[in-house]
Amino acid sequence: MSFTPKADAMPAGRCDGMKEIEPNRAGASLAVGIVMARFNQTISEGLLSGCCHELHRLGVTDVTLASVPGALEIPLALQTMAQTGRFDALVALGCVIRGETYHFEVVSNESARGVTDVQLATGVPIANAILTVENDGQAEVRMFQKGLEAAQCAVEMANLLKAVK
């Protein structure tokens, strides 16, 4: 047995009286840290280009970049940056391209898990733009846009957490 409310019993759209925190991508007051893997550097630089372009457009002027050898090193650098208390949000940039061995799965899964663990442990939002792709072509097509989206995510999440607090 299922329950279906009458159409006139429910308000259209959102709940009446509900408080809603609107998305906010104003970045002028924010400090953003970026950790970029140097492995697959051309792709990482493309991600960085999109990210920096969008951070600038959103008004973020306080940006710090740290580079690490590869995707597995990103979480530790993010954690260290988060623990300083200097950053409102962080961005992870890198690229893992499938090869002929199981290593792709290990690096993809563990870097993603590490980024999520750091975010949850520190309370600092992290936009994960570590691409996991089949080949260079897929990465090249996605790099600028994914970097741009990571910047938007970082700014929006930093503002959301500030609004909630």
56 is catalytic: no
The contacts of residue 3 (CB under 8 Å, 6+ apart) are none
The residue annotated as part of the active site, out of 103, 116, 134, 163, is: 103
Query: Would you place residue 21 in the very low, low, confident or very high pLDDT band (cuts 50, 70, 90)?
Result: very high
The pLDDT tens digits for 103-130 are 999 999 999 999 999 999 999 999 999 9
Q: Give the global pTM.
A: 0.90
| Residue 120 identity | L
Query: Would you place residue 96 in the very low, low, confident or very high pLDDT band (cuts 50, 70, 90)?
Result: very high
The pLDDT tens digits for 51-76 are 999 999 999 999 999 999 999 999 99
Q: What pLDDT score does 9 carry?
A: 54
Q: Please check the confidence at residue 15 and state whether its pLDDT lies above 90.
A: no
Higher per-residue confidence, 101 vs 39: 39
Q: Please check the confidence at residue 8 and state whether its pLDDT lies above 70.
A: no
Alpha carbon distance 39, 67 (integer Å): 10
Q: 21 phi and psi, to 5 degrees?
A: -90, 115
Q: What pLDDT score does 16 carry?
A: 82
